[in-house]
Amino acid sequence: MASGTRNSTTGILSNDKSEEREQIIEMLRKAYWMEIETVMSYIANSINPDGVRAQEIIESLQEDVQEELGHAQQFAARIKELYGVVPGSLDFTAEQTYLQPPEHQTDIVHVIKGVIEAETGAIEHYNAIIEATDGVDFVTQDMVIAILHDEEGHRRLFEGYLREYEAEGLA
């Protein structure tokens, strides 16, 4: 070809959409860090808990670690597709105070509530991305809708665990 590559003239990758892209990339970076921190928190909380009733939580979080890691990879890939750069680890700031190890490792309610809090935070941020990308970037929107579905499933599962403890007056 004689000329260079042709820039896309429609959609989020077009030249005149750089401002919109930057805004979306910023939201995706935040989502990426949320997933990374969730992976860290879920690894710890899938190993620390003690007791007979901890097993269900442990197995559930072990599975979630892989899913949240997959989400982080999807967010990272989309950042690149939008001409952004996936941040390095020095940009990371931890925020999940509610998912730190409890004083007693048999305190399963602490873990369940922490997971619900993390999933709720993700659900709020992903709803914001879905709204911000509406009519602007359907591909990001489509991806985040699928991820939001996963997070809603996670939250519902842990709400169910909490109900059991509440029914017994333990939460």
- Report residue 47 as tokens: 């190993």
Query: In this structure, how many other beta carbons lie within 10 angstroms of the beta carbon of residue 168?
Result: 8
Among 29, 115, 151, 158, binds Fe ion (CB under 5 A): 151
**Least distance between Fe ion and beta carbon 42 (Å):** 8
- Report residue 107 as tokens: 């305190």
CA distances from 155 to 96, 105, 120 (A): 16, 22, 7
| Lookup result for tokens 């017994």 | 168
**Least distance between Fe ion and beta carbon 151 (Å):** 4
Using alpha carbons, select from 119, 103, 107 the residue that is nearest to residue 37: 119
Helix residue spans in the chain (DSSP H)? 18-45, 54-81, 108-132, 138-167
Q: Which of 37/151 has CB closer to Fe ion?
A: 151
The verdict on 137 binding Fe ion (CB under 5 A) reads no
Among 71, 78, 110, 113, binds Fe ion (CB under 5 A): 71
Q: Which of 51/153 has CB closer to Fe ion?
A: 153
Contact flags string 14-43 toward Fe ion, x per CB under 5 A: ---------------------x--------
Q: Which of 17/121 has CB closer to Fe ion?
A: 121
Total interface residues for Fe ion by CB under 5 A: 5
Q: Is 15 left (phi over 0), alpha (psi -120 to 50) or beta?
A: alpha
Phi, psi of 117 (to 5 degrees): -65, -45
Among 32, 41, 68, 82, binds Fe ion (CB under 5 A): 68
**Least distance between Fe ion and beta carbon 8 (Å):** 29
**Least distance between Fe ion and beta carbon 65 (Å):** 10
Binding site for Fe ion (CB under 5 A): 35, 68, 71, 151, 154
